[in-house]
Structure 1
Amino acid sequence: MTICVISPFTGLAGDMLLAALVDAGAPLDRIRSAVATSGLTGWELRVQSLLTHGLMTARAVVDVADEATSRSAAELIAMAGRVEPAPVAERSVAALRAIADVEGRLHGEDPEHVHLHELGGHDTLVDVIGVCAALDALEVSTVYCGALPLGTGTVRTAHGLLPCPAPATAALLRGARTVGSDLAGETVTPTAAAVLKAVDARFEPPPEFRLLATGYGAGTRSLPDRPNVAVVHLGEPVAAGHRTLVVLETNLDDVTGEVLGHVAGGLLAAGALDAWISPVTMKKGRPAHVLHVLAEREHAARLADLVLAETGSLGLREYPVRRTALARATETVDVLGVPVRRKRGPHGAKPEHDDVVAAARELGLPARVVATIAAGR
């Protein structure tokens, strides 16, 4: 399993990300082959070295024989759907559908029939499929991205001058982490924003990882005081490292103990990593409880809906936490002829309580005696 951490130093465009991934080790022949399966003709993808401000970078160049720059979204999506392997096609289609949906909303058109102008050329298809193919070839499981710098001023489009970031980019970046930039013009392109959306990029600190490779992808614009680059780091998560999870909390002063127990059990069954209840005193001296839920980020919204539906609460809190998880393994030991599972970590072993109770009942012994034997103490 490999993670990819994107550092958008001066911004992010599809060609910058593609070049950075190739510079970090993505095989160019695999990328070209994936693009070719779409049926796109009249193109050639090159990645060349470029020295800028003392930094050696990679630059992705698409040479095009067909000068058409305007196609329908449906045409691009159909071509992406033919791509092999299937995971690359799935992500490529998701990125292009995201662009079509946004353009359709902005221009009041059906996404299936929306006509793409600047985004309808070869470059868009090559960049989208190329990045997805590179991530697939590198066996990237999760993408993390730093805050995206948003430029100022205007960008010229087929519809005239528009404010930066372009409306399509702004819509695609909803929910992403951004930061202001002193650079004028477009610093994040719709293509890059759509790819980040399609790969479900996480805008949060990555877990602890072992750095494997770094790549630098240069953009087309030259800047007077800095290299115009996006950086990617490829890494291998450390087995006993840190992970960023989400804690959901809500204060409850009108929910019975029976309901609280039911909700906690239901949350665990629904995929929560943990759920627990703390007694508190709320305003006006009311005795109450706080329901806590520990969850993976991708499950947080679904579990939050479950909490609100089951408790009737009018709101909850959500915040990231950093958890350290040590390596552990489950093994089975023999206790006087009865199997008992126990969980072993680097600092000891603990038998599973349910197995201990069942073995104690079968052997006619106190549970503490069975637990002591199973733990090996």
Structure 2
Amino acid sequence: MKILHYNCAAGISGDMNLAAMLDLGVDKNELIKELNKLHLDGWEIQTFKDSRGGIFGTRVEVVCEDLEEHSHHNEKHHHHEEHHEGHCREHHHHHRHYSDIKAMIENSDLSSNVKEMSIKIFEKIARAEAEIHGREVGDVCFHEVGAVDSIIDIVGAAVCVELLGIEKFTSSKVELGGGTVKCAHGIMPVPAPATALLAKNLPSSIGAAECECATPTGVAILAALCSEFEPKIEGKILKCGVGVGHRNVEGLANVLRVMLIESKENSDENKSEKMYEISANIDDMSPEEISYLTEKLFEANACDVWQESIVMKKNRLAVKVCALAKSESLREIKDCFFKYSSTIGLRQSEVLRESLERETSKVETSLGEVRCKISAFKNSQKKKFEFEDLKRLANEKSISISEVLQKIRDELSR
């Protein structure tokens, strides 16, 4: 199994992450070829060999036409909406809503995996911004994060992951920095509001430097991709990459190190991981309200959500709503229960989830493209076609889903 491990002793930003990936061995031309599938004009990736604190690596500049002032100067600026909220009407080309960015990615020619990862990272930032400013997620207006350079950083991160064939992500604790930053609302302490929200439940430290060490983009990448923090890893280090920041920081080597590790875990064996089950017994919510609750639990990064019919005291029929969570999402999921349900108490238990390794591939059929999840057990394979793709094809061809499924199976068996 290929593991990508982040060492964030000096924090992380979008450009440092991209630089570390290129230093690790991602082909720059392949990266640019994939990013061109966004159909986004007016940008260029420049790379340099540089060092901080005597540590050499790669530094990246994303240069945009007529937007030099927004190119990265260590990307150590906070991205929260309040920074330039008043300028949204003045410079429309610098600003995009989350819904616009999501549509751009979905309508691109990128692979489904890259689209999914990119949107997941952007959604992390959008939800943090929405909470800060009291807005709907789709209405959040980004400044730096919506600019071309940061779109390249985030989608570029997802492209690099696919090119490297990473199967699992881990990270050290994250240095957030210290001191203060200046924004439209005055002087604010580090971490900036969006960074603080994104770092919730992530092991972190504050104060190693009197500057902003971690940006929303960088922390969002970790929050979206990493399954373990401060892990114990057994395996062989294949490569190391160093992403160099643009700022010299006193007493701190301003670099991000990533390591590509070949784990001793056998991908042919079942994968076991510690998780948590959170549940609530509910007898005073409508089915529609409970359905909305389950949607919100998934949005809060629950790995699974389900309902069980139960009988409570006084012989009242009720429903037990359960969510499966990783440790880093535990607090967010508990808060979701209390915010969107009538419950005043929760139960929590530690469980061990065992699952088969899986991968998603695209299958070309006479009806169109459909995604297929493939899992392996010993010498046999299990295949499951993505329901949303089956539904889309059924609507396009005006036939039933069972007919779509049968036709695909027939074609694949030939």
Band of TM-score, shorter chain: 0.5 to 0.7
Partner of 2:256: 230
Q: How does 1:1-377 map to 2 (within 5 A)?
A: 1-67=1-67, 68-81=93-106, 82-239=108-265, 245-246=273-274, 297=326, 315-316=347-348, 318=350
Q: What are the superposed Cα offsets for residues 180-203 of structure 1, whole Å, 9 maximum, x if unpaired?
A: 332112111001122222224421
| Alpha-carbon separation, structure 2, partners of 1:96 and 1:40 | 17
Contact 2:171 2:226 in 1 (8 A): no
1:215 alignment partner AA = G
Q: CA, structure 1 residues 166+226, in 2 after alignment: closer, same or farther (shift >3 Å)?
A: closer
| Alpha-carbon separation, structure 2, partners of 1:194 and 1:300 | 13
Offset of residue 126 of structure 1 = 0.8
Helix, strand or coil: the match of 1:187?
Answer: coil
Offset of residue 300 of structure 1 = 10
Range that drifts further, 74-83 or 229-238: 74-83
1:24 alignment partner AA = L
Contact 1:217 1:230 in 2 (8 A): yes
Offset of residue 137 of structure 1 = 0.4
| Alpha-carbon separation, structure 2, partners of 1:217 and 1:314 | 43
Contact 2:37 2:109 in 1 (8 A): yes
Q: CA, structure 1 residues 319+182, in 2 after alignment: closer, same or farther (shift >3 Å)?
A: farther
Q: CA, structure 1 residues 10+233, in 2 after alignment: closer, same or farther (shift >3 Å)?
A: same
- TM-score normalized by structure 2? 0.59
Offset of residue 228 of structure 1 = 0.5
| Alpha-carbon separation, structure 1, partners of 2:203 and 2:138 | 29
Helix, strand or coil: the match of 2:38?
Answer: coil
Helix, strand or coil: the match of 2:206?
Answer: strand
- TM-score normalized by structure 1? 0.64
Aligned-residue RMSD, C-alpha: 3.4
Partner of 2:89: none
Offset of residue 159 of structure 1 = 4.3
Offset of residue 316 of structure 1 = 5.0
Q: Percent identity?
A: 29
Offset of residue 125 of structure 1 = 0.3
1:186 alignment partner AA = E
Q: CA, structure 1 residues 83+65, in 2 after alignment: closer, same or farther (shift >3 Å)?
A: same
| Alpha-carbon separation, structure 2, partners of 1:62 and 1:41 | 13
| Alpha-carbon separation, structure 1, partners of 2:346 and 2:220 | 34
1:112 alignment partner AA = G
Helix, strand or coil: the match of 1:75?
Answer: helix
Q: What are the superposed Cα offsets for residues 238-292 of structure 1, whole Å, 9 maximum, x if unpaired?
A: 1479x9842779xxxxxxxxxxxxxxxxxxxxx9xxxxxxxxxxxxxxxxxxxxx
| Alpha-carbon separation, structure 1, partners of 2:215 and 2:256 | 13
* Unpaired stretches in structure 1, ≥5 consecutive residues: 250-270, 272-294, 306-312, 321-328, 332-377
| Alpha-carbon separation, structure 2, partners of 1:77 and 1:66 | 24
Q: How many residues align?
A: 272
| Alpha-carbon separation, structure 1, partners of 2:266 and 2:145 | 43
Helix, strand or coil: the match of 2:150?
Answer: helix
| Alpha-carbon separation, structure 2, partners of 1:115 and 1:162 | 21
Offset of residue 317 of structure 1 = 5.7
2:34 alignment partner AA = A
Contact 1:47 1:58 in 2 (8 A): yes
2:274 alignment partner AA = V
Q: CA, structure 1 residues 21+247, in 2 after alignment: closer, same or farther (shift >3 Å)?
A: closer
Helix, strand or coil: the match of 2:261?
Answer: strand
* Unpaired stretches in structure 2, ≥5 consecutive residues: 68-92, 278-303, 305-323, 335-344, 353-376, 380-414
Offset of residue 49 of structure 1 = 0.6
| Alpha-carbon separation, structure 1, partners of 2:350 and 2:266 | 25
Helix, strand or coil: the match of 1:109?
Answer: coil
Offset of residue 29 of structure 1 = 1.8
Offset of residue 65 of structure 1 = 0.3
| Alpha-carbon separation, structure 1, partners of 2:328 and 2:219 | 22
| Alpha-carbon separation, structure 2, partners of 1:52 and 1:111 | 38
Q: CA, structure 1 residues 71+85, in 2 after alignment: closer, same or farther (shift >3 Å)?
A: same
Contact 2:276 2:325 in 1 (8 A): no
Which of the two has higher C-alpha Rg? 1
Range that drifts further, 196-205 or 52-61: 196-205
Range that drifts further, 175-184 or 13-22: 175-184
Contact 1:6 1:145 in 2 (8 A): yes
Q: What are the superposed Cα offsets for residues 56-80 of structure 1, whole Å, 9 maximum, x if unpaired?
A: 1110111110424332222222222
Contact 1:144 1:206 in 2 (8 A): no
